[in-house]
Amino acid sequence: MTLMPEVQWEPRLALDGGATASAWHAKSSRPARPGSARAAFSLLEIGAEQAEAIQESVAASGQWEPARVRCDLAGRPRVVVARRLPM
């Protein structure tokens, strides 16, 4: 993957979650640990074409409320926000 210099310091998973956000889904679908925060949130910065796939992945995990998408100042989908379901 060729990256712009200003993002090369980012962890690979932050830049490449797979074609359908599968890397995020694999981590998020694990059951929460006992004693973990009850009201956990996930905020994911996304590519403009990934919103629908990530919303589907969040829903498929069964661990999160329906994800909401927030747009950047240019009106492009940029952030997915999800809240963990109560235990």
Q: What are the residue boundaries of the structural domains of the chain, listed by start?
A: 15-28+38-83
Residues of the chain with pLDDT > 90, as a percent, come to 21
User: 0.85 exceeded by the pTM?
Assistant: no
Per-residue pLDDT of the chain (87 residues; tens, 9 = 90+): 577 777 777 777 666 666 655 565 556 555 556 656 566 888 888 888 888 988 888 888 888 899 999 999 999 999 999 998 876
Phi-psi region of 23 (alpha: psi -120 to 50; beta: other; left: phi over 0): alpha
Are the C-beta atoms of 63 and 28 separated by less than 8 Å?
yes
